[in-house]
Amino acid sequence: MIFLDTSFIVALANSSDGRHQKAVNLAEKIEHKEKVISNVIIIEVMDTLRNFKEGKLNEYVYQIIKDNFKIHEENLALYDDALTTQLKYKGKLGFADCIIIEIMKKSNIKQIASFDKHFDGKEGIERIF
């Protein structure tokens, strides 16, 4: 299993992103792994891509997400744990990233496909990029 971060999905979907080719290459490497995201990732991706192709890119990406990724549902207990994680890192991580870390910990997911360096050095997480 591998968790997919917003930065990876956006780069993969947007051919004008400077990291697009890296994302394509990474997608090929992780093709046969079970891919996990969460509700917060869907929201971040949809917000980031909303202006591309008059919103039509969102429709395409959303369908791929629904059809191909396991979506971890969030709840208040998860948010409570994410807040604890955010405090642990003294507010240096965004709340969405803390949610991701908690999902990965609870689901025993060790790898994340991400271009965001703030996942580096976090216990039990290997960033694949």
Domains of the chain plus CATH, in order, are: 2-128 (3.40.50.1010)
Question: Tens of pLDDT along 13-35?
Answer: 999 999 999 999 999 999 999 99
What is the pLDDT at residue 52?
84
CB 112, CB 3: distance < 8 Å: yes
Beta strands across the sheet bearing 111-113? 70-72, 35-38, 2-4, 111-113, 126-128
- pTM score over 0.85: yes
Q: Quote the pLDDT of residue 110.
A: 98
- Rounded CA gap, 31 and 116, in Å? 20
pLDDT of the residue at 105: 97
For residue 55, the model assigns a pLDDT of: 81
Segments of the chain scoring below 50 in pLDDT: none
